[in-house]
Amino acid sequence: MNKAVFLDRDGVINRELGDYVKNPASFLLNDGVGETLRKWAEDGYLLIVITNQGGIAKGLYSEKTLHAIHEKMLQLLAQDDVTLTAIYHCPHHPSTGECLCRKPDSLLLEKALARFHIDPAKSFFIGDKERDILAGLKAGVKGIRIEPNAPLSDINLYNA
């Protein structure tokens, strides 16, 4: 079975702005994220983003805009020879209804675990909010909580 690093997006991969990233121009990678992700990929980890994007439900941006933001993220990561295995997003927000895919629920992680034949016991979920850690735990994946915009290079997966 495979092993994976699941990553929240805002505050982990890109700069947490205190508001929604509503367009590609406001998407900024955190310092050193590419180098760290490349190292983890070289060590055999699949790299999978699991992100809540409630701004879609709130009408702040569209699925098309989110796709453009993610295209920019992929292009920036490619400059460091990083390829993400997959990106999963929840477009819902609690103010507009309930769903099973929004973290802290674990549906998106469970889909990725099944699709890519991932062993949860050999995998990690890195997030900057408690809901990220809870989603990982529900799926049997160890959570690592960081401060928003903290360097991923500070994380040692082998001692986690």
* Enzyme catalytic residues: 8, 10
How far is 28 from 16, CA to CA, in rounded Å? 9
**Taking Cα atoms as reference points, which of 28, 2, 24 lies closest to residue 16?**
28
Token pair, residue 150, equals: 């903290």
Cα angle 98, 107, 90; round to 5: 55
Residue 144, classified by CB atoms within 10 Å of its CB into exposed (0-12), middle (13-18) or buried (19+), is buried
Q: Classify strands 3-7 and 45-52 as parallel, antiparallel or unpaired.
A: parallel
